Amino acid sequence: MTEQDGSNGSSKSPSLTSYEEALEALSSLIIRRTRADGTNFGDQFDVLFQYIKMLDLEEQISNMKIIHVAGTKGKGSTCTFTESILRNCGFRTGLFTSPHLIDIRERFRLNGIEICQEKFLAYFWWCYDRLKEKTDDNIPMPNYFRFLALLAFKIFAAEEVDVAIMEVGLGGKYDATNVVQAPIVCGITSLGYDHMEILGNTLGEIAGEKAGIFKDRIPAFTVTQPEEAMHVLEEKASKLNVPLQVAPPLDAKLLNGLTLGLEGEHQYLNAGLAIALCSTWLKRTGHLGDTNLERTDTLPEQFIKGLTSASLQGRAQIVTDTHFKSERSNELVFYLDGAHSPESMEVCARWFSLAIKENNPDQTLFHRQLDNPKSSHEIVKMQHGERGFQRKSTPILLFNCLTVRDPQLLLPRLMETCADHGVYFKKALFVPSLSVFNKVGSQASTTITDSKVDLSWQFDLQRVWENLMQGNKGKITDTVSEELKDGMEVSDSNCEHSAVFSSLPVAIKWLRDRSQQNQSVRFQVLVTGSLHLVGDVLKFVKK
């Protein structure tokens, strides 16, 4: 198919580039969903098979060698490890993940690289125009995510990938990726409480939705799960004669002294699952070749290379702000992690606490409970005298989460885990989402001067934080640093331990101003609670 094939039937706007026009068309498919069950007219799961017929994708999908992955936490990481391993084994890979952080094309990766704009446009209009032509009131255009999943199948079929790794968007049973009838192998990552308004209120209900990707007699792997969730997975697997196995975490010794490409202790769990998925895929597709997978005391070289070279934006990612082109370094560092469930928040807090200590090897953090005044004096003495000049570490939280999340579950887990590691935030900054949910691309953001933005949710988050700080007052000996008190008039609500800003750009400008004015301080900003927030921060920092 050529790029011109996708141009018929699409009206061109002189004010938009062809790419922006595609994103405008994609934005028109965004709708609000409240329940993943197919009771809404035009939103039934079965209609997906009608779309596949319209796009002539039935045979192509049935011929694909697919790895299908669902779960609450670690889906993206597991899929990334899996893709990297098989690519390093010499296979042409296709990877479909969500959400994207900066550009929609991140969701479609060919051989580890996001699809180029030219190919994206060709395939986009090919699918969009055909669906526009063939849908009607009875079968309307697919919603945003369903269209993206269909587009992924089209891309991977046309590009003739050897393996397609498909990450479930939400749930499993009714997810658009679950049109796959005969995957080579399925994976279920760690399960926890997330999207409860859609998937159910218990771990059992959530596990039941995820197990919806199981297919008759198709092998499946999972990681160690809570008993309630594991019971449901085993029950669903038994009904479908699915050989379900628990993949052990990767033993770090098998990496021969190297480290995983993705940061965090939890990644050894995801890496172990990826190894099981890849091994099974190789066996079932007859591609074992020279790869020795029978030994448990060693890993094939290709597997090690895949695991250690894997990369994924927005998960345990450390980015130094380079806004000021100067010789100074590391004054403002962003620690980015899209954690948004209680369990992942705990993992994120543990990673952040260890990461900032690694980045400050010669100093003791001020933000901890001190046993006695003498130790406090010794720390100050060490900071300012005996070891010469050192920057003071100042941990700051930059947070937002969707209103469907419960901050009473997220924020305490974050604060308590950090406290267990001797890390206390000097200030928490709460901001509204920069991205809006009815636009994709350059139009999907509010402006710095948008004074109409509703901050009621951010004030709610701030109240939760301040109450937590009050409850932990006996443990925290530090007051807010002097360097954080300046410029607080730009915030909409400044409390003792937190502030609400009307927009992310204003908050980042405040952080940059503080960094520039206090060169003896290293500001270490944990950005978490939402992958949307992480993506928005990346856009700013990478400008």
For residue 254, give the nearest of 290, 189, 308, 291 by alpha carbon: 308
Sign of the dihedral through C-alpha 503, 507, 510, 516: negative
Both structure tokens of 415: 């604060």
Q: Is 195 annotated as a binding residue?
A: yes
Q: Is 98 annotated as a binding residue?
A: yes
CA–CA distance, 498 with 352 (Å, rounded to integer): 19
User: Across the strands, what pairs with 395?
Assistant: 524
Sign of the dihedral through C-alpha 122, 126, 129, 132: negative
Secondary structure in 3-state letters for 450-502 = CCCCCCHHHHHHHHHHHHHHHHCCCCCCCCCCHHHCCCHHHCCEECCCEEECC
Close Cβ partners of 248 (under 8 Å, ≥ 6 residues apart): 272
Name the packing angle between helices 117-134 and 47-54 (round to 10°): 110
Within 10 A of 389 (CB to CB), how many other CB atoms are there?
7
Both structure tokens of 99: 């959400």
Q: Is 454 annotated as a binding residue?
A: no
CA–CA distance, 167 with 98 (Å, rounded to integer): 7
Q: Is 315 annotated as a binding residue?
A: yes
Within 10 A of 534 (CB to CB), how many other CB atoms are there?
27
Q: What is the per-residue DSSP string for 108-144?
A: EEETTEEPPHHHHHHHHHHHHHHHHHH--SSSPPP-H
Are the C-beta atoms of 213 and 173 separated by less than 8 Å?
A: yes
Which secondary structure element, helix H or strand E, spans residue 172, and what is its range? none
Work out the end-to-end distance of the chain between its first and last CA atoms, rounded to an integer number of angstroms. 34
Q: What amino acid occupies position 348?
A: C
Cα dist. 515→93, 128, 311, 322 in Å?
43, 47, 29, 12
The residue count for the chain: 543
Q: Is 68 annotated as a binding residue?
A: no
Are the C-beta atoms of 144 and 29 separated by less than 8 Å?
A: yes
User: Which residues fall in the annotated binding site for ATP?
Assistant: 315, 337
Binding residues for Mg(2+): 98, 167, 195
Binding residues: 98, 167, 195, 315, 337
